[in-house]
Structure 1
């Protein structure tokens, strides 16, 4: 009798464990991931050129001219038109003389229309702007209520510097956006202009390097193969050496 009870309890615990594992697996598998690490030439075709002088070089993506305002490239990932709530992150390095570099998100078919969150190197701040149809520099700022302007002072001891790789992350949920630098929350803003859209990279009269651009969310079609030896598993969260 005692053995049967123990056997029954073991079976129950095993079943409970399997159910728990399956629930975790389903939860994780709902979120799709798409990654651009610039190691393979095949994905270069995903990037749509707007303006600026961009190069794929030694496993990174660079703007090399610093010649124009609002220079950017938008990536047209699989089913990008459906992307609504997602997290986008990338490694960003402001290069020599850089002042303003960042990430594009909720980018529309019209290359003039998108949100951008960027690092303001001279002020050690970050900024959130809405770009609209018209010229490349047709835009308006999202104001920080504490500062009374577009500048969001760096939080968590962050120092934004030229030549330094930084992890920049944006979490978009509905009309609320949370912005992070090196996993430290910088600011939360609300904005309602764009509901869905793609992601990209951005510079304003600045040279910069970008790596490991990744978008993740329930509305994102998964294209990332599970590979424990992949660059994503090996290097995400580590600062990459300069080329």
Structure 2
């Protein structure tokens, strides 16, 4: 009889544990998204003439290292995805680990050489920077004016990776900036950005689910990924 009681107690304990696990909230990485269908006051322009126009975030062709930032300086590891179009001239891309308006990394597209470059900007001037790496010509993608490119930057610790249209182009390392905001960037180039998302474990989730939204497909993709 005692054996039966002990067995029942063990079964009850197991059921309680399983029930608790089932009720525990899932832990997913948070995602924030900007589709630029409306005004976004949370983007902070550091340099350049940026505006939301025609459902995209646009910068006029102007000076060097023109960029706009979003997010929190404490963000560390995350994945950024955005559509990037170089409308006129040669250089534009994605900022990450921005600790200030002058201290950040940027992966940017280079039209003339059909490559992706990684630079580390630093204090002193908008153009104060160090070239970390110039990758070989990109694979499976042609970087050209007027063409949308899906760009993804994955940041984990001191390791970075950049993808174009889903194809891995480069993996690099640097450990100077360990946290920081994200953003968009151009150098003497008119450029447009759309469907900008950032996902990470310490990022608050603000992604709204709207089946009639133009990003319903993107949300469906995110749900499959996570």
Task: Please tell me the TM-score bracket, short chain as reference.
Answer: 0.7 to 0.9
**CA offset at residue 40 of structure 1?**
1.9
Q: Provide closer, same or farther for how the CA distance between residues 163 and 84 of structure 1 changes in structure 2, counting only shifts above 3 A.
A: same
Counterpart in 1 of 2:62?
A: 67
The 5 Å alignment of 1:50-61 reads 50-61=46-57
1:127, 1:214 → 2: CA distance?
Answer: 21
**Residues 181-213 of structure 1, C-alpha deviations (whole Å, 9 max, x = no match):** 001000000010111111100001100000011
Distance 2:185 2:105 in 1: 10
Cα drift, residue 219 of structure 1: 1.1
Change (3 A) 1:57 1:236: farther
Counterpart of 1:141 (choices 131, 143, 148) is 131
CA RMSD, 1 decimal: 2.3
Answer yes or no: is 1:153 the counterpart of 2:130: no
Cα contact 1:86–1:217 (8 A) shared by 2: yes
Contact 2:102 2:126 in 1 (8 A): yes
3-state DSSP of counterpart to 2:178: coil
Q: Do the aligned partners of 2:38 and 2:52 also contact (CA within 8 Å) in 1?
A: no
Q: Structure 1: which 5+ runs fail to align?
A: 1-14, 144-149, 238-243
Within-5 A mapping of 1:124-203: 124-143=114-133, 150-155=134-139, 157-203=140-186
Q: Quote how far apart the aligned CAs of 1:133 are.
A: 0.7
Report the equivalent of 1:40.
38
Q: 2:22, 2:118 → 1: CA distance?
A: 39
Does the CA-based 8 Å contact 1:82-1:220 persist in structure 2? no
**Structure 1 or 2: larger strand share?**
2
Residue in structure 2 matched with residue 100 of structure 1 by the alignment: 91
SS in structure 2 at match of 1:142: strand
- State the alpha-carbon separation in 2 of the partners of residues 182 and 22 from structure 1: 37
1:118 aligns with 2:108: yes
Instruction: Give the 3-state SS of the residue equivalent to 2:145 in structure 1.
Output: coil
Q: 1:63 to 1:204 in 2, by over 3 A?
A: same
- Deviations along 1:96-142, one digit per CA (max 9) or x if unpaired, are 2x20110001111x200110000001001000000001100000011
Counterpart contact for 2:73–2:98, Cα < 8 Å? no
Q: Is the 8 A contact 1:69 1:136 kept in 2?
A: yes
Corresponding pairs, count: 204
The match for 1:9 is: none
- Give 1:85 shift: 0.7
Higher-Rg member (1/2): 2
In 2, the alpha carbon distance for the partners of 1:151 and 1:120 equals 10
Tell me which residue corresponds to 1:5.
none
Give the drift of 1:51.
1.1
Structure 2 unaligned regions, length at least 5: 1-14, 221-226
| SS of 2:215 mapped into structure 1 | helix
Instruction: Report deviation, 1:236.
Output: 7.4
